[in-house]
Amino acid sequence: MEKLFHVNILTPEQKIFEGETVSLIVPAELGYLGVLANHAPLVANLVPGKIIYRDAHAAGTIINNNGKGILEVTANKATILLDAIG
């Protein structure tokens, strides 16, 4: 079984997603960045693009990020703060 980690995706207006995931892919300034369970601590600036996360049932979800944002990864938890989504 694949290891899970917690993900929060937020905008100023609403919580987009909160839950356990197997993988997360985000559009960072220098290209797409992948996160799995037990990832090293990380802070990255995000740019417009697709945010993709996959849950324990292998169901993938895509969010279109239209603005800028920030990703923080620490202690098996990833938090994404976004300006806007589409």
CA dihedral 48, 72, 51, 64 (to 10 degrees): -50
Model confidence at 9, pLDDT cuts 50, 70, 90, reads: very high
Instruction: Tell me the average pLDDT across 30-38.
Output: 96
CA dihedral 49, 71, 41, 36 (to 10 degrees): -50
Which residue range(s) make up the domain with 77? 5-82
Stronger pLDDT, 39 or 2, i.e. the higher one: 39
Element (H, E) at 56: none
User: At residue 1, does pLDDT exceed 80?
Assistant: no
- Residue 11 belongs to domain with CATH number: 2.60.15.10
| Overall number of domains in the chain | 1
